[in-house]
Amino acid sequence: QVQLTESGGGWVQAGGSLRLSCTTSRTALRIDRMGWYRQVAGQQRELVASINFDGSTNLADSVKDRFTISRNKLRDSVYLQMNSLKPEDTAVYYCNYVILRRDYWGQGTQVTVSS
């Protein structure tokens, strides 16, 4: 079983920054893709950013100029640097790992941006 642990959420004023982290206790995994999703109550979960095994990244248009996704050298932890945060970024953020075509999810971390 692969368990993901997220950290770094919280409250910030508009224009501020937060950095989310996601790690797993399992080692020597080939993780095909790591990503961050977010969900607002009553809405569908949406992809914010992802990074593939080869290092290529994908970011949602709404965050492209403000957020950066990265990973560690072992390629088993993923980070989301969020700058210039806006109230509309308020959501629960989930990390996601795809391993052998199976999805694994973290428990979610709340990000609240006040105006």
Tens of pLDDT along 92-113?
999 999 999 999 999 999 999 9
Nearest to 32 by CA among 80, 94, 75: 75
State the average pLDDT for the chain.
Answer: 95
CA–CA dist 71, 80 (Å, integer): 9
Tens of pLDDT along 2-46?
999 999 999 999 999 999 999 998 877 889 999 999 999 999 999
Nearest to 36 by CA among 65, 2, 60: 60
Q: How many helices (H) and strands (E) does the chain have?
A: 0, 11
